[in-house]
Amino acid sequence: MKRILAATIFTALLAVAQSPTPVTPPPASASAQTNNPALASGAKGTNSPAEKDKGSSKLINASERDFKPRDVFRYSVLEDPASSQASQEAVVTDAGEVHFLVSGQFTEYVTVDVRGRKLADIRAEVKRMLDERFYQNATVQLDLASVNASAATSVAGIAKARVFGEINGTIPIPENEEVFLSDALIGLGRNEMANLKKVKLHRKDPTTGVTKSFTVNVDKILKENARSMDIRLQDGDRIEVPAVGIRF
């Protein structure tokens, strides 16, 4: 019922935003041709400066890339009725999926499996799913923002934390970087059955060998921006995400 209500409200706002003054797309520049699905079929591939791998001088061809977990897309919809239409970032999960928000004003999203798919195909699929339920003719801007630099190298020597339960995956912890629990779980994708109010972090003391467990309300951290409650991950951390209890 909540999802239907959200979709109904969204549709009403979209109608107001699109009439009487329709949103006019920008001129068809080279970058716009890359981002606009209506022009993608006739446009030749171009590389954004963001497609340069930070770990080397090798240029990444976004149009032909085989996307990896923790690659990041830059994404927006020109017809978004939200007051702020700034581009959003969408991260590839360990399962190879990306969750694209319908609008900056709602938590509703569409999910696309990007494994084995090219950028133009992903862009077209996002547009198709948005038009199916939310827009009349969405103009989707979608490009590669950055790549997972650690994916290009062996992860054997990289610090990492492991997530299990209703959300699964491995979180790399690059040297001299801070990776927090809430950010890590967001990067692995959403699961409606995951109980983010009772996430358990199991940490082994390297000196004593004793494992201590902490229960963290990640849901509150995300909803209330309670960053003081967040926990910086360490190598060897094990994160248990339980299921939501079912009541009859």
pLDDT of residue 240: 93
* Rounded Cα gap, residues 69 and 47, in angstroms: 20
Percent of the chain's residues with pLDDT above 70: 70
Q: Evaluate if residue 182 carries a pLDDT over 60.
A: yes
Region of poorest pLDDT, from 38-47, 81-90, 138-147, 232-241: 38-47
The per-residue pLDDT for 89 is 87
Bridge partners, residue 240, by sequence: 164, 200
In the predicted model, is pLDDT for residue 186 greater than 90?
A: no
**Can you read off the two tokens belonging to residue 127?**
């547009």
- Cα-Cα-Cα-Cα dihedral sign, residues 99, 102, 104, 106: negative
Q: Rounded to 5 degrees, what are φ and ψ at 9?
A: -60, -45
pLDDT score for 192: 83
Backbone angles phi, psi at 225, to 5 degrees: 55, 40
More confident residue, 161 or 43: 161
Domain 154-241 class, CATH top level? alpha beta
* DSSP per position, 182-246: HHHHHHT---TTB-GGGEEEEEE-TTT--EEEEEE-HHHHHHHT-GGG--B--TT-EEEEPBPP-
Q: Where are the domains of the chain?
A: 2-29+50-149, 154-241
When pLDDT is averaged across residues 101-129 and rounded to a whole number, the result is 90
- The residue ranking higher by pLDDT, 25 or 160, is 160
Residue with tokens 């109010």: 197
Question: Which strands sit side by side in the sheet containing 238-241, from one edge to the other?
Answer: 169-173, 159-165, 238-241, 199-204, 211-216
